[in-house]
Amino acid sequence: MTSAEKNRIKDKLFGYFGLACTLFGIIMLLVFLSDIVMKGWEKVDFDFLTNYSSSRPKKAGIYPALAGTLWILGLTALIAIPIGIAAGIYFEEYAKKSKMANFLEINLANLAGVPSIIYGLLGLQIFVRSLNFGASILAGACTLALLILPIIIVSTREALKAVPDSIRQASYGMGANTWQTIWHQVLPASAGGIITGIILAISRAIGETAPLIVIGAATYITYIPEGPMDKFTVLPMQVYDWIGMPDPEFAKNAAGGIIILLLITFLLNGIAVYLRNRWQKKVKW
């Protein structure tokens, strides 16, 4: 065999190996999803969605956890979206090429890499104790809002960056000032990208467990929260609680909770991917 032939065989083999590795990830995903569905499917019915937590696995449901997740989701979005977009605009449109901008940039890169559990410690000390929010929805939402802020800022910046400078120059040429240009031209043109980033950030917040455990959110809640100062639990925490139960029957409950959690996560991610593709196709400068 000549060395050229050998090389061609090696090349082919690596191609198969690469394909195998790629498929391995997908297969793990499928194994994993089917396992969860097999364990938890029998659990998922109307009662499961509307029952309160219970020490008896057959009666235990996710109603308070689902309500808590919706509360946390709404309040976190309310806090994080305006601040995130505003900060993203500042970073990209105002703070270009200064010492300050450089510092903000390094800081942002680092924040994005801080483990979520550290945000929990921050929330515990600042929101729960110093500001006296207690282990309330408000404290949880503030903590998660800080956690997803870097994600929203980064994706907002990416979306703004994709708007070509000619649009800005044309707007300035018509006599618009910086803010008018941003508000009437740049933001509408980048809305698709910004919204995609926001949805992905929110979906991240829904799956977070560790920071909420650290701020002391309860796992056993027997009522539906009615205001932002109420105590709460969320779906991933309910799942975590059930995983830790000695009675193996609770594993089914955990799997059932996971099915609902994954449905919400996949739905949000699906919307985000759809918006991203549509937006990329539509906008061709």
Partner 1 sequence: MKRVLMICAIITVLTTVGIVYVLFSESFSFFQQVSLWDFLTDTKWSPISTEKHFGILPLLSGTLLTTFIAMIFAVPMGITIAIYLSEYAPKKFRYYIKPLLEILAAIPTVVYGFFALTVVTPFLQGYIPGLAGFNALSAGLVMGIMIIPMISSLSEDALYAVPKSLREGAYGMGSTRLQTSFNVILPAASSGIIVSVILAFARAVGETMIVTVAAGNMANLTADPRETVATITAFIVNMSTGDVPQNSIEYQTIFAAGVTLFVFTFLLNSISFYIKKRFQEKYD
Interaction of residue 201 with partner 1, rule CB under 8 A: no
Interaction of residue 41 with partner 1, rule CB under 8 A: no
Residues from 204 through 223 that contact partner 1 (CB under 8 A): 204, 206-210, 213-214, 216, 219
Nearest approach, Cβ of residue 184 and partner 1 (Å): 13
Nearest approach, Cβ of residue 83 and partner 1 (Å): 5
User: Is 51 or 219 the residue whose CB approaches partner 1 more closely?
Assistant: 219
Applying CB under 8 A, among 66, 75, 139, 153 the residue interacting with partner 1 is 153
Interaction of residue 250 with partner 1, rule CB under 8 A: no
How big is the CA angle at 129 (ends 221 and 228), to the nearest 5 degrees?
Answer: 45
Nearest approach, Cβ of residue 118 and partner 1 (Å): 6
Interaction of residue 150 with partner 1, rule CB under 8 A: yes
Nearest approach, Cβ of residue 49 and partner 1 (Å): 18
Applying CB under 8 A, among 8, 59, 161, 184 the residue interacting with partner 1 is 8
Interaction of residue 271 with partner 1, rule CB under 8 A: no
Applying CB under 8 A, among 36, 167, 176, 275 the residue interacting with partner 1 is 36
Nearest approach, Cβ of residue 226 and partner 1 (Å): 25
Nearest approach, Cβ of residue 228 and partner 1 (Å): 19
